[in-house]
């Protein structure tokens, strides 16, 4: 299927309260199309950047979900909840905060930087046996989870008010900020949970460039905020093809091409295939052989 004017990525600023699915439903109504999806869930209590893929751009979602993300978060020390956030049930509480100092908090946060194995929350969208963990948790089921590898690229203490710790995080996709709050509390020995979370960026997308949910029916504002498919996958290396090669790719044929500058021909790489200034396909380049994976013929 070809990309049309109604195929784009739309950065939206989700407010606290609605689920990510609620925002998708609002977009479907406002944009008058059923083909809308998002590229990464935000919890209902969280706010910030949610990337919506509209029309044929929904086929690009898998190439956006893995982008690194940035957050600003607030954790409350001394109180732990079962969901690791403010919406959960308190499971432990302490008044002894003698071990809590700004220096200790900063030290523990800094220790999380780099690659680490993180234990996901019991309440999460992570699926086990085909079902979201939060559904199992709400039924009282406890599932033994294994830590998963994540990377904290940057983490910094923004403010400290004894029991409230505000910090920023830039991390790999799949990182749970609620787990960082839990681990912070456990490391200090007082417990903790997340009270606020705001996603400020996904890859090159910034929340400052997003549109409010209540403005989704404003055509001018949507037009200003929308991102065309080629720009949306600008994190992928681009490969330009001529008319003849474009025709071959559209019909599913492979091409022998020179690897883009700086590419390691011994490794497989996803690339954005460009024809006449528009996105023609997402291809897989392996040892100089280009295979079309998702094609958008003009």
Catalytic residue positions, numbered: 43
State the CB neighbour count (10 A cutoff) for residue 220: 8
CB 79 within 8 A of CB 93: yes
189 Cα distance to chain centroid: 30
- Beta-carbon contacts of 133 under 8 Å, excluding residues fewer than 6 positions away, are 120, 121, 122, 123, 124, 125, 126, 127, 143, 145
State the CB neighbour count (10 A cutoff) for residue 232: 27
Output DSSP code: residue 63.
Answer: G
Distance from C-alpha of 290 to C-alpha of 19, rounded to nearest angstrom: 39
Distance from C-alpha of 137 to C-alpha of 145, rounded to nearest angstrom: 12
Distance from C-alpha of 36 to C-alpha of 28, rounded to nearest angstrom: 6
Output DSSP code: residue 164.
Answer: E
DSSP codes joined into one string, 172-232? -TT--HHHHHHHHHHHHTS-EEEEEEEEEEETTEEGGG-EEGGGTT-HHHHHHH-B-HHHH
The helix/strand/coil state of 143 is: coil
CB 119 within 8 A of CB 145: yes
The 3-state DSSP composition of the chain as helix, strand, coil percent (nearest 5) reads 25, 35, 40
């Amino acid at each position: 299927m070809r990309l049309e004017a109604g195929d784009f990525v739309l950065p939206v600023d989700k407010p606290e309260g609605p689920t990510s699915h609620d925002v998708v439903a609002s977009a479907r109504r406002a944009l008058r199309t059923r083909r809308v999806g998002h590229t990464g869930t935000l919890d209902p209590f969280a706010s910030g950047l949610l990337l919506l893929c509209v029309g044929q751009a929904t086929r690009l979602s898998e190439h956006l979900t893995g982008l690194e993300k940035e957050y600003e978060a607030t954790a409350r020390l001394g109180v732990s909840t079962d969901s690791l956030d403010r919406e959960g049930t308190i499971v432990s509480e302490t008044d002894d905060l003698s071990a809590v100092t700004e220096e200790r908090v900063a030290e523990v946060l800094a220790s999380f930087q780099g690659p680490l194995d993180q234990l996901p929350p019991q309440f999460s969208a992570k699926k086990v046996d085909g079902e979201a963990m939060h559904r199992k948790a709400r039924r009282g089921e406890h599932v033994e989870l294994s830590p998963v590898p994540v990377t904290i690229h940057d983490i910094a203490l923004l403010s400290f008010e004894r029991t409230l710790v505000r910090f920023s995080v830039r991390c790999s996709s799949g990182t749970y900020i609620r787990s960082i709050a839990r681990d912070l509390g456990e490391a200090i020995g007082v417990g903790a949970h997340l009270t606020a979370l705001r996603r400020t960026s996904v890859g090159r997308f910034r929340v400052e460039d997003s549109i409010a949910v209540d403005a989704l029916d404003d055509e001018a504002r949507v037009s200003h905020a929308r991102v065309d498919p080629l720009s949306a996958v600008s994190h992928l290396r681009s490969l330009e093809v001529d008319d003849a090669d474009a025709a071959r790719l559209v019909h599913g044929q492979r091409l022998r091409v020179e690897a883009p500058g700086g590419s390691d021909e011994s490794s497989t790489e996803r690339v954005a295939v460009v024809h006449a200034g528009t996105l023609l396909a997402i291809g897989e380049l392996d040892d100089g052989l280009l295979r079309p994976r998702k094609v958008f013929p003009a």
